[in-house]
């Protein structure tokens, strides 16, 4: 089985194309990305920037603002004399470097993990997941959690151990926000390690799959993801037309969940042109409807043991609640303890000593309404529910170079194997690591 599976992945890899497969309509040539230091006075910085058009990458602005500037706004920006670091000297060059084809994985037929040395075209991701299923045919199935606005499947992989399916679920969502490509790679790597490790006797894969069913959906926002590869690399939302004749497209799928959808005006936007537009009604995006259907099916079956919504960037492990900064769930103690142990495991596995900040989402980062972790904890009754914001902390932001894919996915495997071992622990009993 091992040789057959590796050969199939190799066949997929050699047929894949570099990305982007088309010239991006928005090339970002000459655009720069700056990290402006706010020194806990973000409003003063925002006031200075009020006459300049820019795209803001981060929302947690107490210490800094990450902004994208077009070439014609650079002279006016220089006159403001703000304190800043340059994240991307030429964003267009960085995007081309990110998408350049890395041919090592073509040459290494015996190393299917070389898939994780470069980014890939959307259609190749579908083929890669099919190859993982073919590698693990008796213990996996290709699933769909619904369809997008443009009728793309929200495909995924359901994996289980020797005793068959039907155990409590571990549910992963990747690429909720289209531009966060590293989240695709992480979810794929976890699926790859589980599928290959179980057959080869890896103790972590065996322990996880014999105890839990895994449902891994690597691209929750396929229309937006495809759009980032063909048209606008930094697109975030889905591709749903705006309401009432609006010319602005897209809903933020992670502001569209039913629970606490309208609980805090600071948690999402009612403006269809905003990157955090929450929609006209809860769950009015087809992607969210399909995702929520699966959540409720899993809840009503063996239950959801763990949910993770994978994002970038910032290096955070965030638990509910996001919609209210002063509201803390009864499980916060064990969630925080588990997050600390996972953060330590990530750091200790990494030659870069990658550090993750952890805590309740609203208090640690910023308010988010209609967000998946709140909904899947409150409605889906997940025992553990997190957002994980992946690398980095601002040197590259959303445009993470290909050479950082492998260290990112490998350190997440280290973190997740520890987390799986904690899911049935009794916390704070003086026994074990929890």
Catalytic residues: 389
Q: Which are the contacts of 117, defined by CB distance < 8 A and separation ≥ 6?
A: 102, 104, 105, 402, 403, 405, 406
The first and second tokens of residue 313, run together, are 């960037």
- Dmax (CA) for the chain in angstroms is 67
Q: Which are the contacts of 120, defined by CB distance < 8 A and separation ≥ 6?
A: 16, 19, 128
By DSSP bridging, strand 304-312 and strand 169-173 are parallel
- 181-200 and 405-422 are packed helices; what angle lies between their axes, rounded to 10 degrees? 60
Alpha carbons 434 and 432: distance in angstroms, whole number: 6
Are the C-beta atoms of 420 and 193 separated by less than 8 Å?
A: no
Number of Cβ atoms within 10 Å of the Cβ of 151 = 9
Are the C-beta atoms of 256 and 291 separated by less than 8 Å?
A: no
Distance of CA 87 to the CA centre of its chain: 21
CA dihedral 308, 310, 315, 321 (to 10 degrees): -50
Single out the residue of 357, 180, 321 nearest to residue 253, CA to CA.
180
The number of CA neighbours under 13 Å toward the Cβ of 70 is: 8
The first and second tokens of residue 392, run together, are 């980095």
């Amino acid at each position: 089985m091992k040789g057959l599976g590796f050969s199939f992945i190799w066949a997929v890899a050699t047929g894949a194309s570099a990305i982007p497969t088309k010239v991006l309509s928005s090339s970002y040539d000459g655009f720069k990305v700056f990290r402006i230091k706010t020194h806990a006075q973000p409003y003063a910085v925002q006031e200075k920037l009020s006459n300049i058009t820019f795209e803001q990458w981060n929302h947690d602005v107490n210490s800094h603002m990450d902004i994208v500037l077009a070439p014609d706004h650079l002279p006016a920006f220089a006159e403001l004399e703000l304190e800043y670091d340059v994240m991307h000297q030429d964003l267009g060059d960085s995007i081309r470097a990110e998408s350049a084809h890395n041919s090592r994985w073509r040459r290494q037929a015996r190393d299917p993990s070389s898939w994780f040395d470069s980014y890939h075209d959307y259609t190749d991701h579908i083929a890669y997941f099919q190859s993982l299923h073919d590698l693990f045919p008796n213990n996996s199935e290709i699933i769909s959690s619904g369809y997008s606005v443009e009728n793309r499947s929200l495909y995924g992989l359901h994996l289980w151990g020797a005793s068959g399916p039907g155990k409590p679920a571990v549910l992963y969502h990747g690429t909720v926000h289209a531009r966060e490509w590293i989240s695709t790679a992480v979810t794929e790597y976890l699926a790859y390690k589980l599928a290959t490790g179980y057959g080869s006797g890896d103790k972590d894969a065996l322990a996880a799959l014999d105890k839990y069913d895994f449902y891994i959906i690597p691209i929750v926002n396929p229309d937006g993801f495809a759009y980032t590869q063909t048209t606008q690399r930094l697109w975030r939302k889905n591709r749903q037309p705006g309401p009432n004749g609006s010319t602005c497209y897209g809903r933020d799928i992670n502001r569209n969940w039913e629970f606490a959808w309208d609980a805090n005006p600071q948690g999402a936007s009612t403006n269809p042109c905003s990157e955090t537009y929450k929609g006209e009604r809860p769950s009015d995006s087809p992607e969210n409807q399909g995702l929520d259907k699966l959540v409720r099916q899993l809840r009503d079956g063996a239950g959801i043991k763990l949910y993770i919504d994978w994002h970038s960037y910032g290096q955070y492990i965030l638990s509910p609640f996001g919609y209210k900064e002063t509201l803390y769930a009864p499980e916060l103690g064990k969630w925080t303890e588990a997050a600390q142990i996972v953060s330590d495991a990530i750091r200790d596995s990494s030659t870069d000593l990658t550090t993750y900040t952890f805590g309740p989402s609203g208090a640690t980062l910023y308010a988010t309404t209609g967000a998946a972790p709140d909904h899947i904890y409150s409605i889906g009754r997940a025992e553990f529910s997190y957002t994980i914001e992946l690398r980095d902390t601002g040197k590259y932001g959303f445009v993470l170079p290909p050479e950082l894919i492998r260290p990112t996915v490998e350190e997440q495997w280290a973190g997740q194997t520890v987390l799986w071992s904690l899911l049935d622990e009794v916390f704070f009993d003086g026994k074990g690591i929890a």
